[in-house]
A and B are shown apart, each in its own frame.
Chain A
Amino acid sequence: MTALLSVRDLHTRYAVGKQVLRAVDGVSFEVARGETVGLVGESGCGKSTLGKTVLRLVPSAEGTVVLDGADITHLGDSAMAPHRRKVQMIFQDPFGSLNPRQTIRTVLDTALKVHRLGDKAERARQMQEIVTRVGLPADALDRYPHEFSGGQRQRIGIARALILRPALIVCDEPVSALDVSIQAQILNLLVDLKRDLGLSYLFISHDLSVVRYFADKVLVMYLGRIVESAGHATLWRDPRHPYTKALLAAVPSTDPTHRRAAPPIKGELSTDIVSGCRFSSRCPAATDRCRTEEPLLRPVGESHHAACHYA
């Protein structure tokens, strides 16, 4: 069976002053039906840009995006319309993406009307159903965003994504702004929805432990490129790229008797792209070869790829 989403050699560029920023610089991956693909990396590495490019919220410079068998890369607005409802997005800050003067009913109803889904009575039924499904109180529909707590607002964001019955949801840091006690509620809800509705997710987070828990397959991104991809268990037990190893080592454990080794990498992500391996300026294992020859993503095991000369 073909993948639900297939991304091939995707590039996204921003003009920053007179310079061109290659925020996504040749990324390929697939999301199978019912699969959750995690995308992890430090802030600024291009995760949100990749998510938005897949949704066509940001134009791509090169490459193709195939959704459910249809190449949507270059579709105009009207040709895109029937595909748009198949893939929806959930944001880190649902409040920032909700109009404060619209009730939840207006938000949801507008989405349904744009896509001409059902008559008035049918739409009302669907809205009531979705609000209950995401765990909001029954009277939530006629309230405004500011009347809800952070966790409830994220439930509204999820309801808005779900109301169009998409096949794929791009979740961009959906729990990063939430307190731990609320994160678990939202993650459990996303797991239940996936199981009950057969959803697929592209799950973006800077938090490796959350991605490890939530994803079937994980992509590790560094400066616009995927540097390692593997099944969640493989990535944990046998990380091959020095960047993945460093990310893992930096997550603080809640076991105080398990003292973490000092983080093996120095410095921070900068957007200057050097010749050779992009990670070489921070890599503890870099050699002369790394500084001249760029490593390509290559198989290093079963369904396991890494972009490092020595992986």
Chain B
Amino acid sequence: MSLLAVEKLSVGFPGHTAVHESSFSLDAGETLALVGESGCGKSVTAFSVMRLLPPNAQVKSGRILFDGLDLLTKTPAEMRDIRGKQISLIQQEPMTSLNPVLSIGLQITEVIRRHEKVSRKQARARAIELLDLVSIPDAHRRIDDYPHNLSGGMRQRVMIAMAVACGPKLLIADEPTTALDVTTQAQVLDLLDDLRHRLKMAVLLITHDLGVVAQWADRIAVMYAGRIVEKADIKPFFAQPLHPYSRGLLGARVDVDTEEHYLSDRLTEIPGSVGSAAGEAGCPFAPRCPIVVPACRLAPPPLIVQGERAVACPRVSA
């Protein structure tokens, strides 16, 4: 049984559907990258699992099985016990999740004491251990710092410390390094990777950067306009992406390993913009797809399993 199995999840806002029949699963200890352009539904998917959707959002259908139990049927009180204890979320901008007027030590001990019966003193000792674990130097002094005393990378480490404080089975990291420099990004993602091995956590890594996926994930799910269009293991995906959108994404990226230069190599564009999917009755990628045929515009193609991978386009195969 998978640790997390999202089955045919659809989430709507008034006037439009943000996530369409999305299905994916995650095993214990593995890292699945959820990838796509801004607005494609990555955060809405994450918030659905956390049951933290904004009030105007509505889950229209589907199940979210965690350890076999449907999170969508849990009461708010049950969810409060699960959040932080079994499933944690870290977001792109730690300042939105950290309280600016409380020391980081207090914020970490609060998380611990919400879920475990320990004394203030024990919780503080654990908080120092956690800050050590996420490689914050001088943890015993740093614990009394306020968020604004810390650099962006240090704040993200504090968020990670809070997220793993109670040993969750699943960590959802929503663009955890998008606001950081590449040097800091590598440090933070190495830390996350190390923690998932040591604490045997599964990680749902949300990102728009295919380099991050190639280096730090085991599997990938590519989203386009609210739909998962391809799922694969990392090596076969990067050796040969199947969906025309996946291919376009990889082709459009300037890769550090190549010697591409503007004088000799033109970047491959994906024409148009994702907004064109809104008026499309068929495949959402049809308005931008280089191999579109009229049949593509009749109905959205389903995600078809082909061996170890799955792709939502009848015109490609492994």
Contacts and interface: CB of A to CB of B under 8 A. Distances in A.
Interface string B230-271: 000011001000000000111111111101111001111111
B252 A181 contact: yes
Interface in B197-245: 208-216, 234-235, 238
A233 interface: yes
B279 to A, nearest CB: 14
B152 interface: yes
Contacts of A247: 182-183
B151 A252 contact: no
Contacts of B152: 268
Contacts of B274: 149, 179, 181
A268 B238 contact: no
B256 A253 contact: yes
B162 to A, nearest CB: 20
A207 B253 CA distance: 12
A58 to B, nearest CB: 23
A311 interface: no
Interface string A190-210: 010000000000000011111
A294 interface: no
A213 B257 contact: no
Contact of A187 (B153, B256, B267, B273): B267
B314 interface: no
B103 interface: no
Interface in A128-180: 149-152, 179-180
A254 interface: yes
A206 B248 contact: no
B37 A248 contact: no
A59 to B, nearest CB: 28
Contacts of B261: 212-213, 232-233
A270 interface: yes
Given A187-B267, A208-B256, A252 B183 contact: no
Interface stretch (A15-23, A257-265, A283-291, A298-306): A257-265
A98 interface: no
Nearest to B184: A268
A250 interface: yes
Contacts of B216: 252
A268 B211 CA distance: 21
A152 B186 CA distance: 31
Contacts of A255: 214, 238, 255, 257
Residue with the greatest number of chain A CB neighbours at <10 A, chosen from B37, B153, B183, B273: B183
B212 A252 contact: yes
B38 interface: yes
Contacts of B213: 254
Nearest to A43: B181
B190 interface: yes
Residue with the greatest number of chain A CB neighbours at <10 A, chosen from B184, B259, B267: B267
B275 interface: yes
A270 B208 CA distance: 27
B185 interface: yes
B183 A256 contact: no
Contact of A262 (B190, B208, B255, B260): B190
B107 interface: no
Contacts of A253: 211, 214-215, 255-257
Nearest to A214: B262
A152 B273 contact: yes
B23 interface: no
Given A179-B208, A180-B253, A206-B181, A250 B186 contact: yes
A274 interface: no
B234 A256 contact: yes
Nearest to A215: B262
Given A151-B273, A251-B256, A255-B214, 16 more contacts: A36-B262, A149-B275, A180-B249, A183-B252, A185-B269, A185-B270, A188-B267, A188-B269, A206-B181, A209-B254, A213-B262, A233-B261, A252-B185, A259-B215, A260-B186, A263-B187
12 contacts: A149-B273, A179-B37, A191-B262, A206-B181, A207-B182, A209-B255, A209-B256, A214-B262, A251-B256, A252-B186, A262-B190, A268-B153
Interface of B: 37-38, 151-154, 181-187, 190, 208-216, 234-235, 238, 248-257, 259-262, 265-271, 273-275
Interface of A: 36, 42-43, 149-152, 179-185, 187-188, 191, 206-210, 212-214, 232-233, 236, 246-260, 262-263, 265-266, 268-270
The list of the 6 closest CB pairs from A to B, nearest first, reads A252-B211, A181-B270, A184-B252, A179-B37, A184-B267, A263-B186
